[in-house]
Structure 1
Amino acid sequence: MTAPRLLVPLSLTLLAACAQHPLQTVELDAESECPQRLKVGQALTLTLPGNPSTGYRWRIENPAASILKSLGPEVYSAPDDTDVVGSAGSSTWRYLASSAGEAQLVLVYQRPWEAEVAPVQSFECKVIVR
């Protein structure tokens, strides 16, 4: 067999092997799980409790943009078993580890119109991408 004919089956075999072992998404929901270690190309899902009906929202203060790429806006969801207006739920953000390095992911929980008031809660996590 000639070299080009060998390359096609070999390339397909390597692609199939990579497809069978995708990098697992890392779920993060507490500072106790930090520092968080990721591999380049790995997804990170951050979920924090919140209740926007009180006016409080999570605001990304430091997105760790040097190593993480946002995969979309915040998604808020309420528990499936509640029909109570104003009940608490959770906010979720998805990121992709885009390059190697270390950075601090920081979010604060406060009312957007009260920027001069200290946040009632914060979330800080050192993220290390290799």
Structure 2
Amino acid sequence: MKALAICCAVLSGLWLAGCSSMSPTVDGKTHVYSLKQQCPNLLEMNVGQTLMFAVPENPSTGYIWQVVKPLQIFKVDEIYQQDQVKSQKPILGAGGEKLFRFTALKPGEELIRVKHARSWEKNALEEWSCRVRVSSFL
């Protein structure tokens, strides 16, 4: 009976730890996500930390990834890098990867929404979102 109580206590502790909204970071301050790795229901960050979101993109098709609306508590950097074949120059029309870097500038809560669409069309092919709460303490 005592072993069962200890086992239940350990499992409860692991379950509660799993419910934490803090995500693992790469270097203690950078949260990394992709289309395959979704953001938790509420990601908790501190001022100065970074959320990175990387997705494949081929702008020559007209479809690009873009932030849906301007953000108030994040600085946003967008970096596109075309895929390169070894020993070849960049190829016209080749795809690549788009990296969004969201750096928390001040405390608050905000919904980051990114969509993959053509600028002249109403509907997006794909969307990604992440609700983030930024705290002021480091």
TM-score band w.r.t. shorter chain: 0.5 to 0.7
In structure 1, the residue matched to 2:63 is 56
- Deviation, structure 1 residue 39: 0.9
1:29/1:46 contact within 8 Å kept: yes
- Deviation, structure 1 residue 104: 0.5
Q: Are 2:83 and 1:76 aligned?
A: no
Q: Tell me, what secondary structure is at the counterpart of 2:38?
A: helix
Listed one character per residue, the Cα deviations across residues 55-105 of structure 1 (whole Å, up to 9, x for unaligned) are 11112113432x2122x3x21112333765433321112221112222110
Mind listing any 5+ residue stretches in structure 2 that lack a counterpart? 1-26
Mind listing any 5+ residue stretches in structure 1 that lack a counterpart? 1-21
| Alpha-carbon separation, structure 2, partners of 1:78 and 1:106 | 23
Q: Is 74-83 or 44-53 further displaced after alignment?
A: 74-83
Q: TM-score, normalised by structure 1?
A: 0.65
1:47/1:90 contact within 8 Å kept: yes
Runs of 4 or more above 3 Å deviation:
80-85
Identity of aligned residues (%): 29
2:49/2:104 contact within 8 Å kept: yes
CA RMSD of aligned residues (A): 2.4
Q: TM-score, normalised by structure 2?
A: 0.62
